[in-house]
Amino acid sequence: MADEHVPQQQQQPGGAPSSPAPSGGHSGGYSGHSSGPGGPRPQGARPGPGGPPKRGKRNFVRKKKVCRFCVDKVDYIDYKKAEVLTSFIQERGKILPRRMTGTCARHQRWLTVAIKRAQNIALLPFAAEL
C-alpha cells in the first residue's frame, strides 16, 4: 500500500482537478474514474515523489487500490451481510464499478450476485427513495 505519486497527463478536456485529487476508495469518485477501465498505467514513467502540482500538467496522487475481499481472503460473499455490501453501492443504489472500488474481477462477480440477492429480499434498495 505504498502511496505513489503518479504523474499522468490527461487528455480529458476540463473538469479534472489541478490539485491532487482525493483518492479515498469509492467516495473519491473522480480519481477512480480518471484511471479508466483497466489498462496498464504508465507507472514509474516519471520518478520522483510528486511534489506540488506543476502548472499545465495534471498530477494525481493515486493510491493503488487493492481488492478488499482479497485482502481479507474472502471465499464467499454473504448476501445477508448488508452492511458489507452497502459500501459497494452508490447512494442511489447502483452497484459501483470495479474501477472505483478496486475489487478484483472474481470478487466483483460474486459481489454482484450478493447485492442482487440482497435487493430481492429488501436488504438493499434497487433505487433509493427520495
Partner 1 sequence: MEERQYDLIFICRPDTPEADIDKVIATLEHTVTEKGARIEKTDKWGRKRMAYRVSRLREGFYVYMDVRSSNGEVVKELERRLKVADAVIKYMTIRVDEELKRQEKLKKHRERRAARRPRKTVPAAAPAPGSEQTAAAI
Rounded distance between C-alpha atoms, residue 89 and residue 97, angstroms? 9
Min. distance of Cβ 7 from partner 1 in angstroms? Answer: 12
Site string for partner 1, 45-84 (x = CB under 8 A): --x-------------------------x-xx--xx----
Q: Is 120 in the site for partner 1 (CB under 8 A)?
A: yes
Site string for partner 1, 4-33 (x = CB under 8 A): ------------------------------
Rounded distance between C-alpha atoms, residue 104 and residue 98, angstroms? 7
Per-residue b/e over 27-63, b at no fewer than 16 CB within 10 Å?
Answer: eeeebbebbeeeeeeeeeeeeeebeebeeeebbbbbb
Which residues are near partner 1 by CB under 8 A?
Answer: 2, 44, 47, 73, 75-76, 79-80, 117, 119-127, 129
